[in-house]
Structure 1
């Protein structure tokens, strides 16, 4: 990880000025990423399930908020694809029982799975980061660093899931250049 900051630090203006408006909306907004990607590209978002694995406890590289979920856990990883390209990679952590109740169709984006029954949800963005991983460079077919965010969904005031997303620079086609990342390092 090259850089990271908690949400409150960003919205209070620290490094916020380095992000252009459309990227600020994508990274800091509380809307559905899959819906935003569909609106931007005009194409439906395809979910490419990488895997779902059992995880007994939160790992050292997981967002801190994962430790607040009841164990045992399920970790789900997916690619979000539009227009024939990978636009984001996402991983989410769930209590196993909650995953069984809420992820009935593994091919659906999480937002659609959670809103099928029109249940109320609250999303809280917890932090932003710039990451650089060779496997992401290979998969996105471009060099990093890559913007990342992590957030939680709550239902009935209880934490439901923690989600981390990493964004492809290909989104600049629709959003413009994100920022001068050198200012953040």
Structure 2
């Protein structure tokens, strides 16, 4: 995987901040859903099981200008979500860093994903790079986040190498 994509997918910086710096546009959130998740989706990252119930699941599109550059979903303990996500249309990173308290991010997995609904929104054929990670605060899991990135990011980051990897 090329270096710029390694930084984007494996780095511990904010993807919304990176998207803004790359494109020159503020990241806008299109909220898809934010609701109780009584039984996490069957393909949810296993780390979701480490969160205290009841759970809340949030899904968003990340847009810069007229481009949709990522889809993200996150799982939260419902009380934590109510405390940290007061503005539902604000990127998570902004919500969590307003009080300047320290966070630790741990990337737990990378994948290439293919889904027709992603292809329709991104207006390009998959597969797409995806990652999931956890935020920790005070040595405990705060949230699990999964992101899927549009290949349009290749405009700024160069080739992602996704074409050379056999998709299973």
- TM-score, normalised on structure 2? 0.97
What is aligned with 2:2? 20
What is aligned with 1:79? 61
SS for the counterpart of 1:79 is strand
Displacement of 1:57 after TM fit? 3.4
What is aligned with 2:125? 143
Any conservation in 1 of the 2:127–2:162 contact (CA below 8 Å)? no
Write the mapping of 1:73-152 to structure 2, written as runs, cut at 5 A.
73-152=55-134
Write the mapping of 1:1-20 to structure 2, written as runs, cut at 5 A.
19-20=1-2
What is aligned with 2:45? 63
Structure 2 distance, partners of 1:170, 1:87, is: 7
What is aligned with 1:42? 24
Displacement of 1:83 after TM fit? 2.2
Structure 2 distance, partners of 1:149, 1:80, is: 15
SS for the counterpart of 2:147 is strand
What is aligned with 2:135? 153
Structure 2 distance, partners of 1:104, 1:126, is: 26
Any conservation in 2 of the 1:57–1:71 contact (CA below 8 Å)? no
Structure 1 distance, partners of 2:137, 2:84, is: 12
Q: Superposition RMSD on alpha carbons, in Å?
A: 1.0
List runs of 5+ in structure 1 lacking aligned partners.
1-18
Structure 2 distance, partners of 1:180, 1:42, is: 25
Q: Residues 11-65 of structure 1, C-alpha deviation per residue, up to 9 Å, x if partnerless?
A: xxxxxxxx10100000000100000001101111001101101112333210000
Any conservation in 2 of the 1:54–1:73 contact (CA below 8 Å)? yes
1:174 aligns with 2:156: yes
SS for the counterpart of 1:137 is helix
